[in-house]
Structure 1
Amino acid sequence: MSLNPMSASRLNMRLKRRLYTLAFIAVSVIIILVIWKQITLKSKDNTETSIPEGKGLARNYSSIESLITVVIRDFEHYDNDVVETVKSLLKTVPGLKVIIVSNSPIYPPLQWKYFDHSAVKVINLKLEVGGYKEDRDLLYHVQTKYICFVPDSVRPMTRNSFVTLLKGLDEPNVHILAAPVSEVSLTSCQKMDLQALKWTLVYNITPSELFCDGVTGKHVLLVEKEALMKLPDPLILPFPDALYIQAKAKNMKTRLLRTVVWSSGRPLLQSQHILWKKHRLNQERQQRMFERLSIKRVVRGGKDEWYGCTRESARCFGTVVGDTPSYLLEGKWTPPCCLNALRTTARHVFKQLQIAGIRHWLEGGSLLGAMRSFDILPWDYDVDLGFMREDLPKLSWLLRASKSPVVDTEGFVWEKATEGDFYRVQFSRSNRLHVDLFPFYNKNGTMTKDTWFKTHKQDREFPAHFLNPLSTISFIGLNVSAPNNIREFLELKFGHGVVERPAYPNERLLKFPVELIPTTQRTPDHLDMGYY
């Protein structure tokens, strides 16, 4: 059977349409397969290189430049390797943002020679009268999520040096990461006991710890910018010591890596003269740092370091108004250097009174401190003693002080107080921390004196039988004279339950914090704790 021409034409058109349809489907399938393959490859690449989403950091490690800004803070003007350090950083990660931070204009200037350092920013923290606030604000110039602090003269081994830091920081509650330079054994984990109330910082080394309060030795730091914003002044020198102390105050831990991915550059500070200069600068910087951070006592390796007042300086606080020293209003107790000066002065006075045979006893808040903890009250600013007025002529220093201030052979200043009929013994001419000596006399069986302080409720007469006989009590490491029936004597002066109920001198102005009330009694073994 033959087809007519019209039928054959229609059949050909149907076949063509089917072929076109099949071709379209085939091409579509190929396109879909290609797209699917690309998506699969990209997904695989992201799986291998992106940061896990534990802290929401689903970023590509290949984009280090958009994640990290490198900051060089710890270097010396007179001997540094900053230029070569920057070159190494930019060679490893071209396009990396680098900021150099200095307390003053760098002198002598860095020698860049033919190296293009246009992308490197230098921040001078020195106040310039014609400058702007933003000029000295590191965080203003950082646009990345992380800041990598590198010490002078370091080299990233590879691009992976930064990737390792990013991976290490991706842990719950870790905001700071430290990575050793050259050798793990050269870094150690520090534990800190920051006692802001007592102006004290205690360091301990714990080499095996993973999470630290601070790190010693040459190391690189990776810090979240958001975490750095919570610290009041993290760039204080010596760096990063000040950063760690401020982080401790915010309960921020530092994770210490045990992997070495950074190496050292050229050796620095090689000559004896430069080493001496570095040592002297470190001492000055530490002094300024602890002063700014309100730390006056540092304990390292069981040894005390003092950064507060001395015999040659003024005491740490000014004139006391309303029986409330300024440090109490700052939420702190008496600086430990001041307490030490008071103890030294009191021991000297006890010795002189004993040698002269003057009858004397602990009075007021000092007796209360002895009853509680055998020490000065940790917020007190003087020591109070009573003595028999008729015994005054036995001690030449008191007799001479009645006319004008006199400095004894050990440098203590004896004087008659300007506020009334009593005496003071000061730590030195410069440092006026003192012991007050109140002359009492017996008037018809009652101990009285000629000067009273209306604002001191404990400043009152008392029966003479409390001094007949005198007792002794442990105080500042000595057995000293005290009234008999001490608890009864104190409750007569201060009120019932005073030994167990701590209070600041002027409760109308400042009440004692409830959270600081002790739940157990102290013993002489607790003296070093400095609480009561």
Structure 2
Amino acid sequence: MLTFVYLMLIADMEEDLREYNPEGSDLRKLQLKMFEILQVVTSIAGKHSIPYWLSGGTLLGAARHGGFIPWDDDIDIELLLPDYKKLLKILEKELPSDLYLQTPKDKGYRLLFSKVRDKHSVVVEEDDLMDNYFEKGIYIDIFPEERSYKPLKNVVDFFYGRSFRRLKRGKPFHSLKYFYEYTLSLLLYPIGILLTWFARGLCAITHPNNILHSYGIGNTTNHNASYMFPLSTIEFEGKTFSAPGSTEAYLTKQYGDYMKIPPKDKRATHFLRVKYK
């Protein structure tokens, strides 16, 4: 459902962004399926009083369009690491049978964050050729966040995140390059684990105000706890969800002038196509 904010934005523009996801279009169908998954996951989180917040382009869409960015095919939520772990345990028990929880423990899944996927669809993405896990349905992303220091995280990610992804990718005999990367990762991964323990121990003592993706996920904007907490709420597609305490501060830090519509060549999508079972 288009919100008042979205309609006002369209009225002030020469370009009508509704051309990207009109009702009944393939993209809108995809977005609505993601929205269904989001409602299930956040409902379970709310039932168990587990704090989360909309993040990234999902939060941007909520603030600028009242829902999805018209060309977007992605939904992201974030939780602090202890809450993330708690939610995963509960989702394993309470997700409906048509949804699947995909975590870094899954064979062949190379990411250090989780997804909740629809079992009755298949999405085709650019890197699918090297992904050998089974469930590839429409999904939302669930990211763990931690208090840390960005330079420290960069060092840990270099050892831990890289080696984890290369080891989970497997296929060391695919090419000489892959063999080199796989063999090197066998050496670097234990170092990455030790560095992760060290970083978490240090941050438990110093309690930094920086909120970042958990170690190994990769770099992200360095948000500050002062405007992240306590959480607030925001409307997304006609429903209310949790959001950072100051949505404006969060989005300004991550995107700058976040109300400005990007040029057409910057309006990226993730999926190549979607098949429904």
TM tier, shorter chain?
A: 0.5 to 0.7
Q: Offset at 1:407?
A: 9.0
Q: What pairs up with 1:214-229 in 2 under 5 angstroms?
A: none
Corresponding residue for 1:342? 34
1:451 matched to 2:212? no
Structure (1 or 2) with the larger CA radius of gyration: 1
Secondary structure of 1:375's partner?
coil
Q: Offset at 1:429?
A: 4.7
Secondary structure of 2:67's partner?
coil
Q: 1:462 corresponds to which letter in structure 2?
A: H
1:473 matched to 2:178? no
Aligned match for 1:435, one of 140, 145, 148: 140
Q: 1:445 corresponds to which letter in structure 2?
A: N
Q: Offset at 1:196?
A: 9.3
Q: Say whether the 8 Å CA contact 2:121–2:138 is kept in structure 1.
A: no
Secondary structure of 1:369's partner?
helix
Q: 1:95-122: CA deviations, max 9, x gaps?
A: xxxxxxxxxxxxxxxxxxxxxxxxxxxx
Aligned match for 2:59, one of 342, 362, 367: 367
Q: 1:197 corresponds to which letter in structure 2?
A: E
Q: Distance in 2 between matches of 1:364 and 1:199?
A: 20
Q: Say whether the 8 Å CA contact 1:357–1:394 is kept in structure 2.
A: no
Q: 1:474 corresponds to which letter in structure 2?
A: E
Structure 1 stretch displaced more, 416-425 or 433-442: 416-425
Secondary structure of 1:380's partner?
coil
Structure with the bigger percentage of helix: 2
Q: Offset at 1:503?
A: 5.1
Q: 1:109-165: CA deviations, max 9, x gaps?
A: xxxxxxxxxxxxxxxxxxxxxxxxxxxxxxxxxxxxxxxxxxxxxxxxxxxxxxxxx
Counterparts in 2 of 1:453 and 1:380: CA distance versus 1, 3 Å: farther
Q: What pairs up with 1:55-204 in 2 under 5 angstroms?
A: 197-198=19-20, 200=22
Q: Say whether the 8 Å CA contact 1:364–1:384 is kept in structure 2.
A: yes
Secondary structure of 1:439's partner?
strand
Identity in percent: 24
Secondary structure of 2:121's partner?
coil
Aligned match for 1:500, one of 236, 260, 268: 260
Q: Distance in 1 between matches of 2:239 and 2:91?
A: 26
Q: Distance in 1 between matches of 2:114 and 2:87?
A: 12
Corresponding residue for 1:484? 245
Q: Distance in 2 between matches of 1:196 and 1:356?
A: 37
Q: Distance in 1 between matches of 2:102 and 2:59?
A: 23
Q: 1:408 corresponds to which letter in structure 2?
A: L
Secondary structure of 1:424's partner?
strand
Q: 1:451 corresponds to which letter in structure 2?
A: G
Counterparts in 2 of 1:488 and 1:345: CA distance versus 1, 3 Å: same
Q: Say whether the 8 Å CA contact 1:407–1:414 is kept in structure 2.
A: no
1:421 matched to 2:181? no
Q: Offset at 1:461?
A: 2.2
Q: 2:216 corresponds to which letter in structure 1?
A: T
Q: Distance in 2 between matches of 1:199 and 1:377?
A: 9
Count of aligned pairs between the two proteins: 174
Q: Say whether the 8 Å CA contact 1:503–1:511 is kept in structure 2.
A: yes
Q: Say whether the 8 Å CA contact 2:113–2:144 is kept in structure 1.
A: yes
Q: 1:370-416: CA deviations, max 9, x gaps?
A: 0012201111111011101112343354674xxxxx99324111111
Counterparts in 2 of 1:501 and 1:340: CA distance versus 1, 3 Å: same
Q: 1:386 corresponds to which letter in structure 2?
A: E
Gaps of 5+ in 1: 1-194, 202-295, 298-307, 309-334, 401-405, 505-509, 513-532
Gaps of 5+ in 2: 1-16, 123-136, 149-207, 268-277
Q: Say whether the 8 Å CA contact 1:447–1:463 is kept in structure 2.
A: yes
Q: Distance in 2 between matches of 1:388 and 1:199?
A: 32
Q: What pairs up with 1:214-363 in 2 under 5 angstroms?
A: 296-297=24-25, 308=26, 335-363=27-55
Q: 1:424 corresponds to which letter in structure 2?
A: K
Q: Distance in 2 between matches of 1:491 and 1:440?
A: 19
Q: Distance in 2 between matches of 1:484 and 1:465?
A: 8
Q: Offset at 1:199?
A: 6.2
Counterparts in 2 of 1:342 and 1:442: CA distance versus 1, 3 Å: same
Corresponding residue for 1:20? none
TM-score for both structures, normalised by structure 2:
0.55
Q: Which has the higher contact order (CA 8 A, sep 6+)?
A: 2
Counterparts in 2 of 1:438 and 1:503: CA distance versus 1, 3 Å: farther
TM-score for both structures, normalised by structure 1:
0.30
Q: Say whether the 8 Å CA contact 2:145–2:211 is kept in structure 1.
A: yes
Counterparts in 2 of 1:465 and 1:347: CA distance versus 1, 3 Å: same
Q: Distance in 2 between matches of 1:407 and 1:393?
A: 15
Secondary structure of 2:119's partner?
coil
Counterparts in 2 of 1:196 and 1:484: CA distance versus 1, 3 Å: closer
Q: Say whether the 8 Å CA contact 2:100–2:119 is kept in structure 1.
A: yes
